[in-house]
Structure 1
Amino acid sequence: MDSTPAPGENIAVLRKARGLGQAKLARLAGISVSLLSKIEVGLRPATPPVVAALSKAMKVPTQRIYGQPFLGPSEQSDLLNDLRGAVRRHTLPKEDVPRPSQLAADVDKAMRLRSEARYLELLEMLPRLLDQATATALSAPGETGAWSQVADVYGCAYAAAHRLAQPDLADMIVARQSWAAHQTWNPEAEVATAWNLAGTYQSAGQYDDGLAIVDQAIVKYERMSESVTMATALSLGSLHLRGVVLASRHKDKSATADHLKMAKRYAEQIPTDVLWHNLTFGAENTALYELAAHVELGKPTQAAEMGDPLMQSPPTTLAPSRLGRMYIDIARAKLDVKDHTGAEEALTRAFKVSPQMAELHPMSREVIRVLFVLHQRARPVLLAMAKRTGLAV
């Protein structure tokens, strides 16, 4: 495998191509020269807010900085092109209507693969499944359940496109998901769509616009809800969790606290964490968002302290995709408090529970990059992780 340029390396290349010195770029991005210098050489991770600030300063998409980290580009490119074709011809499905029981089973399988972060297997089945689900819905206009299935499959497609660093495809998928959700009155499908739409702004580093999407969706759903039901708690709670991420990356402590408070309130209505319309919500997942918010708001010590008991007794109700993300956030917190052994242990667990997420996630790769630069080949496990993410050969 060829080594893949890391964000810090990409930042240096883009900066030089634009004739910018470190001092000028740091000033434009609102960060210190010391931080920028350390990011470029791999001594500090390029965090999402910093990437957002640098991309704005250099007038490039955030994806130009993150690059294309996934493995097997030839195979994955073919799979992504198949998915892109299915999304493009959304009203012209090439598949026949399958048996309802088979379609339901396949949709459930796709959502399971998504929750388990098994993106390659998911990609392989998505084009055909999208065509089949759409053909079924078009043959039964006005059928809420059929269109809900289409929206759910698009939700799975969004997860794959997002994680495989395809922002333009992710944007197109969200537009199609919105189309499917609006074919009938389906407020829960609209919530899932809004959650993904806000995610596209999050990926682009446009946190304030993402927060506006979340706030609009919350207001709209609250107007339609006469009482707090399980569906209400799941929908509004999930939207508030998205708000926690966006607000914390936007460094808005007040908005972060408000969204977290509401998420915890709705989590009290859920006996145990639930995966529903590709959204996970409950008390355990809310705690993971709180941990991540501490990191984003510059409180790594609190995040690391939250992470210690989670490392000892991991949540039992959460899917591998959520556990993998938890370990990545703990690793980042441990790195920030200079607990390099703890960071490596958290990353090792991320690779064990959710290998594809650990290989692809930008923060996983950034923490590995910094640890690798600091320790080079002194730690065999770290070297193995660096090779799996394309950061070493």
Structure 2
Amino acid sequence: MEKTPAPGENIAVLRKARGMGRARLARLGGISVSLLTRIEEGTRPATPHIVAALAKAMRVTPARIHGQPFSDETRQAELLDDLRAAVRRYTLPREDVPPPEALAAGVQRAMALRAETRYLELLDLLPRLLGQVTATALSTPGESGVWSQLVDVYGCAYAAAHRLAQPDLADMIVSRQAWAAQQTWNPEAEVATAWNEAGTYQSAGQYGDGLAIVERAIAKYERAGGGESSPAAAMSLGSLHLRGVVLASRHKDKGATADHLRRAHHHARLVPADVLRHNLTFGPANTALYELAAHIELGKPGMAVEMSDPLLRNPPPSLTPSRLGRMYIDISRARLDVRNYSGAEEALDRAFAVAPEMAEAHPMAREVVRVLFVLHQRARPTLMGMAERTGLAT
């Protein structure tokens, strides 16, 4: 298995290819030369905010810096090509209309695989399922429920494309999801689409534009009568505010972060336990996870570590593996920032246990593994195993 380049290595290669010295790139990216040096050498992680800033300075996408997370792309490439072809044929499905019960079971299966972060199984299922649900929706243009199913399946496709570092495919999927959402007359389906649309801006490092998408979706939902204090409204609006928390904190906008977080907590009080609908999770526990992540993005890892202790002792049982995996990755990053290297490794090991396919591909999980590996941790068997699984060691 070949070693996959890490973001720091990619930054150095791209910088040199553009004839840029470290001093110039650091100045354009708004960071110190010493920090850029440590990122390139692998002793500091390339965080989302830094990657976005350096990508803008070098006129490349963040995806170019993150690189391909797989050392052996053959199987993933084949499955992604099949999905890409199915998404392209969004009005020309080749599949027949299946029985309603079979279609519903397929949709539920896809949503379960997404929540469990079983992306390769999901990719294997999606092309045919997309064709089936599209054929059904096109044959019943006035049936809102079937179009909502199509929105949900596109949401699963977006999650796979996003997590497997395929931003162009993710963009195309979101456009198809928006087309399907327009046929539903279902405000919750439109919220799920807006969530993913904002996510494409988040992946591109365009945090201000992503915030504009979130605010527009919130205003549209409230104008449509979704502002009343009901669990459904709390779920929709709260989810949008959580996306706003991520975007605002990465944008280093403390005021917007606090505002979105305050409103998310308000809506969470109307949802006694975390709920998963239209591939969105919302409730008190998930809101706490976003607050923890915001502390990290805003340069307060100590507060994130303090928040993490009860979450590690008693992981929220209402959360899916996709959310728990992300929680452990964020905790590992916070512990790395405070130089608790053994604690960072412990949290990351939990992420690999509960959501292995997410941990293997997630940019921050890979960055924490890389930094720990470079910092003379090679003799630790658990860390060596994680480095080999991510392709960062051979």
TM-based fold match above 0.5: yes
1:250 paired to 2:251: yes
2 CA distance for matches of 1:183 and 1:380?
52
1:289-347 alpha-carbon deviations (Å, 9 max, x no partner): 00000000000000011111111111110000000000000000000000001000000
Report the residue type matching 2:235 in the other structure.
Answer: L
2 CA distance for matches of 1:262 and 1:314?
24
Note the C-alpha offset of 1:70. 2.6
1:349-376 alpha-carbon deviations (Å, 9 max, x no partner): 0000000011000000000000000024
Which stretches in structure 2 are left out of the alignment for 5+ residues? Answer: none
Report the residue type matching 1:197 in the other structure.
Answer: E
* Secondary structure at 2:34 match in 1: helix
RMSD of the TM alignment (CA)? 0.7
Q: Write the mapping of 1:323-362 to structure 2, written as runs, cut at 5 A.
A: 323-362=324-363
Look up the match of 1:237.
238
2 CA distance for matches of 1:359 and 1:70?
8
1:68-127 alpha-carbon deviations (Å, 9 max, x no partner): 003531111010000000000100001000010110011001001001110000000000
2 CA distance for matches of 1:81 and 1:275?
29
1 CA distance for matches of 2:319 and 2:352?
16
Report the residue type matching 2:24 in the other structure.
Answer: K
Report the residue type matching 1:279 in the other structure.
Answer: L
Q: Write the mapping of 1:40-119 to structure 2, written as runs, cut at 5 A.
A: 40-119=40-119
| Deviating 4+ runs (over 2 angstroms) | none
Report the residue type matching 1:175 in the other structure.
Answer: S
1:249-301 alpha-carbon deviations (Å, 9 max, x no partner): 00000000000000000000101100000000000000000000000000000
Instruction: Give the stretch that moved more between structures: 365-374 or 70-79.
Output: 70-79
Aligned identity (percent) is 73
2 CA distance for matches of 1:65 and 1:333?
22
* Number of matched pairs: 393
Look up the match of 2:275.
274
1:371 paired to 2:364: no
* Secondary structure at 2:376 match in 1: helix
Q: Is the Cα contact below 8 Å between 2:114 and 2:122 reproduced in 1?
A: yes
Look up the match of 1:153.
153
Look up the match of 1:135.
135
Q: Is the Cα contact below 8 Å between 2:325 and 2:352 reproduced in 1?
A: yes
1:20-63 alpha-carbon deviations (Å, 9 max, x no partner): 00000000111110110000000000000000000000000110
1 CA distance for matches of 2:344 and 2:313?
14
Q: TM-score, normalised by structure 2?
A: 0.99
Note the C-alpha offset of 1:154. 0.2
Look up the match of 1:27.
27
Look up the match of 1:187.
187
1 CA distance for matches of 2:16 and 2:252?
29
Q: Is the Cα contact below 8 Å between 2:252 and 2:297 reproduced in 1?
A: yes
Which stretches in structure 1 are left out of the alignment for 5+ residues? Answer: none
Instruction: Give the stretch that moved more between structures: 183-192 or 252-261.
Output: 183-192
Q: TM-score, normalised by structure 1?
A: 0.99
2 CA distance for matches of 1:307 and 1:293?
13
Look up the match of 2:120.
120
Q: Is the Cα contact below 8 Å between 2:43 and 2:371 reproduced in 1?
A: yes
Report the residue type matching 1:88 in the other structure.
Answer: R
2 CA distance for matches of 1:316 and 1:267?
16
* Secondary structure at 1:51 match in 2: helix
2 CA distance for matches of 1:16 and 1:376?
29
* Secondary structure at 1:378 match in 2: coil
* Secondary structure at 1:275 match in 2: strand
